[in-house]
């Protein structure tokens, strides 16, 4: 079937920009007394704190969003003095991707910034003359960044063990996570979007494939290449170019991609040459088979041969690993998550918390663990509804006050530098790169957007030199159109000196 592709949202992660024994740390963190949270305000807010700045009210009016749809809190990072702004701070709201602040801060505290994931590889026979007469086992432990480059390195290390031909199978052990079946179309009916990918104990390249298009006017086609190599995957080598003068426009829709069949991607349309070189990341159909396709494809890419198949299974008891692939440190993973709002990486992180605590990465265990951690640090017990920990949810909930107190707590935490460095900087990088304003370069903020949610939360350095915590969440059908109201609120928080507060 042909799929009508809507204009793409900002990518969940930029695949080509992402190059490439935690249990004791977690148990120690859980056993230790919780750090004393930063001072927060519980007294009734003064009347002026509930008054929205005129620029914010005007932007809400333009978007046809009522004031009552906004929950917001702006308070000193160390809790000094009353809030500058407090509007429905105890109202439970859907925070969208701002929820990632909760999950990533919890992981930094529980696991430590230097935590890494190991993916061990086992051989159940000794290679002789390049031939392994037995099986190779790869055991996943939830590594969120086992991307194409690192999978290539893993296969090169397997070759370095003296293995060229595997006279047997490659067995993928994904038992570290206990997951229910996942319907990638359930959230918004767009299962080919990489942000809808489900977590996996052996998550490879975010279960996504990147198609690259290079127009060749002389040949009348755009050449198509793809990464990573996937075995048993039917892909076009080229697509006709559109008539000369065709504007680039919605070039993905012009390709008329057929994405519903597992093992096949077809392009029935044309590519506008005016687009130049472009890339498109897709989560192909049949996600359960993605790991097997990627492993076999990469093994053959490095010159390996396989007489058997790639299949799921369990590593035999007592078998020692031949080697292990180690992930980047958690601090780098958290930076990728928050800068680019990567949903599946966040879900991997949430499940890892449960895995390190109990030996099994279950969603129920992870939700319970995160909720207890929130209750201890937010001062708003019982107000967190976790769902998947990434905010890609209609059911997730928290309060502006609870999140603000959590950010105050984080400011006094030893892992504050890692959390702060992971947040997009207004007008500089990540999801805020194209949103300059008066707070450009001085606001570290996580954003969140769903069809009925716009949210922002983080730290704003005021012109006075005092840093503030800002949390603002709009829940309304017109919420995305009200994004300028949140931008105006950030600018207002920046202008905290006398004589500046009236500025827009």
Contact 319, 178 (CB under 8 A): no
Tokens of 115: 């935590």
In the prediction, which pLDDT does 500 show?
Answer: 52
CA distance 28 to 110: 8
Residue 73's closest CA among 94, 61, 91, 97? Answer: 91
Element (H, E) at 475: strand 467-475
Return the residue matching tokens 């897709």.
Answer: 282
Going from N- to C-terminal start, the domains of the chain cover 54-114+329-494, 118-180+289-326, 209-282
* Pair 208, 198: CB distance under 8 Å: no
Q: Is the link from the previous residue into 228 a cis peptide, with omega within 30 of 0?
A: yes
Pairing of strands 467-475, 453-461: antiparallel
Measured over the CA atoms of residue 271, residue 275, residue 279 and residue 284, the dihedral's sign is negative
**Nearest in space to 471 (alpha carbons), one of 5, 41, 23, 70:** 70
Tokens describing residue 443: 């606001």
Say which DSSP state 437 is in: -
CA atoms of 414 and 419, how far apart (whole Å) = 10
What pLDDT score does 131 carry?
98
CATH architecture assigned to 54-114+329-494: 3-Layer(aba) Sandwich (3.40)
> Is 301 within 8 Å of 155 (Cβ atoms)?
yes
Torsion from C-alpha of 56, 57, 61, 67, nearest 10 degrees: 110
pLDDT in tens, the chain (504 residues): 334 333 333 333 444 333 333 333 333 333 333 333 333 334 456 655 678 999 999 999 999 999 999 999 999 999 999 999 999 999 999 999 999 999 999 999 999 999 999 999 999 999 999 999 999 999 999 999 999 999 999 999 999 999 999 999 999 999 999 999 999 999 999 999 999 999 999 999 999 999 999 999 999 999 999 999 999 999 999 999 999 999 999 999 999 999 999 999 999 999 999 999 999 999 999 999 999 999 999 999 999 999 999 999 999 999 999 999 999 999 999 999 999 999 999 999 999 999 999 999 999 999 999 999 999 999 999 999 999 999 999 999 999 999 999 999 999 999 999 999 999 999 999 999 988 889 999 999 999 999 999 999 999 999 999 999 999 999 999 999 999 999 999 999 999 976 554 443
Tokens 């107190």 sit at which residue? 405
- Residue (of 248, 204, 199, 203) closest to 227 by Cα position: 204
Buried b (16+ CB within 10 A) or exposed e, 130-152: ebbebbbbbbbbbbbbbbbbbbb
In terms of Cα–Cα distance, which of 168, 167, 176 is closest to 119?
176
The reported pTM is 0.88
Q: Are 260 and 285 in contact (CB under 8 A)?
A: yes
d(CA 194, CA 343): 9
Q: Tell me if residue 503 falls in helix, strand or coil.
A: coil
Q: How far is CA 153 from the centre of its chain?
A: 23
Angle between helices 343-358 and 22-31 (to 10 degrees): 80
Tell me: domain 118-180+289-326, CATH 2.60.40.1180, correct?
A: no
E strands, 90-145, where?
118-123, 131-132, 136-139
Phi/psi of residue 196, each to 5°? -95, 5
Count other C-beta atoms under 10 Å from residue 269's C-beta.
Answer: 17
Residue 266: Cβ-neighbour burial (10 angstroms; 0-12, 13-18, 19+):
middle
Question: What pLDDT is recorded for position 4?
Answer: 38
Note the pLDDT tens digit of each residue in 31-77.
333 333 333 334 456 655 678 999 999 999 999 999 999 999 999 99
Other beta carbons less than 10 A from residue 6's beta carbon: 12
Q: Quick check: 158 and 358 in contact, CB under 8 A?
A: no
Structural element, H or E, at residue 59: helix 54-62
Question: What is the distance between the alpha carbons of residues 221 and 237, in angstroms, rounded to a whole number?
Answer: 10
Q: What is the pLDDT of residue 435?
A: 83
Euclidean distance between CA atoms 351 and 110, whole angstroms: 13
Beta bridge partners of 211: 226, 280
Do domains 54-114+329-494 and 118-180+289-326 share one topology? The answer is no
Q: Where are the beta strands (DSSP E) in 98-195?
A: 118-123, 131-132, 136-139, 165-166, 170-173, 177-178
Q: Are 353 and 26 in contact (CB under 8 A)?
A: yes
Q: How far apart are CA 500 and CA 320, in angstroms?
A: 65
The CA–CA distances, whole Å, from 189 to 4, 5, 426 equal 11, 11, 31
């Amino acid at each position: 079937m042909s799929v009508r592709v809507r204009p793409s949202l900002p990518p969940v992660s930029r695949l080509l920009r992402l190059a490439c024994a935690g249990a004791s740390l977690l148990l120690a963190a859980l056993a230790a007394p919780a750090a004393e949270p930063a001072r927060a305000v519980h007294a009734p807010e003064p009347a002026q704190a509930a008054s929205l700045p005129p620029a914010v009210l005007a932007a809400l009016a333009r978007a046809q969003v009522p004031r009552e749809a906004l929950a917001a809190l702006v308070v000193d990072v160390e809790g000094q003095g009353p809030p500058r702004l407090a509007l429905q701070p105890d109202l439970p709201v859907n925070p969208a991707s701002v929820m990632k602040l909760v999950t990533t801060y919890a992981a930094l505290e529980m696991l430590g910034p230097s935590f890494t994931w190991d993916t061990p590889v086992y051989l159940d026979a000794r290679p002789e003359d390049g031939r392994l007469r037995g099986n190779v086992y790869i055991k996943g432990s939830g590594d969120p960044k086992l991307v194409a480059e690192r999978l290539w390195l893993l296969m090169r290390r397997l070759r370095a063990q003296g293995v060229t031909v595997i006279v047997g199978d490659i067995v993928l052990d994904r038992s570290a996570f206990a997951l229910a079946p996942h319907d990638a179309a359930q959230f918004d009916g767009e299962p080919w979007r990489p942000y809808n990918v489900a977590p996996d104990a052996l998550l490879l390249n975010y279960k996504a494939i990147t198609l690259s298009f290079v127009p060749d006017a002389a040949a009348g086609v755009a050449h198509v290449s793809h990464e990573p190599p996937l075995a048993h995957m039917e892909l076009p080598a080229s697509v006709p170019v559109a008539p000369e003068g065709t504007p680039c426009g919605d070039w993905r829709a012009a390709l008329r991609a057929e994405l519903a069949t597992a093992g096949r991607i077809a392009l029935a349309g044309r590519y506008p040459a005016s687009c130049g070189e472009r890339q498109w990341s897709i989560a192909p159909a049949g996600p359960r088979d993605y790991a097997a396709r990627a492993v076999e494809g990469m093994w053959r890419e490095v010159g390996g041969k396989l007489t058997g198949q790639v299949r799921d299974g369990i590593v035999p008891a007592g078998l020692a690993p031949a080697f292990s692939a180690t992930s980047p440190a958690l601090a780098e993973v958290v930076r990728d998550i928050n800068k680019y709002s990567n949903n599946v990486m966040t879900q991997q992180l949430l499940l890892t918390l449960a895995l390190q605590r109990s030996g099994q990465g279950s969603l129920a265990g992870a939700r319970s663990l995160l909720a207890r951690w929130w209750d201890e640090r937010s001062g708003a017990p019982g107000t967190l509804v976790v769902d998947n920990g990434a905010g890609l949810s209609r059911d997730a909930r928290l309060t502006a006050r609870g999140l603000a107190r959590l950010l105050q707590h984080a400011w006094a935490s030893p892992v504050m530098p890692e959390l702060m460095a992971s947040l997009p900087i207004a007008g500089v990088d990540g999801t805020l790169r194209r949103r300059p304003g008066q707070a450009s370069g001085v606001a570290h903020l996580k954003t969140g957007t769903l069809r009925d949610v716009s949210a922002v939360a983080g730290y704003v350095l005021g012109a006075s030199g005092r840093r503030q915590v800002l949390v603002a969440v709009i829940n309304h059908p017109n919420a995305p159109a009200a994004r300028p109201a949140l931008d105006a609120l950030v600018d207002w928080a920046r202008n905290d000196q006398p004589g500046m507060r009236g500025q827009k």
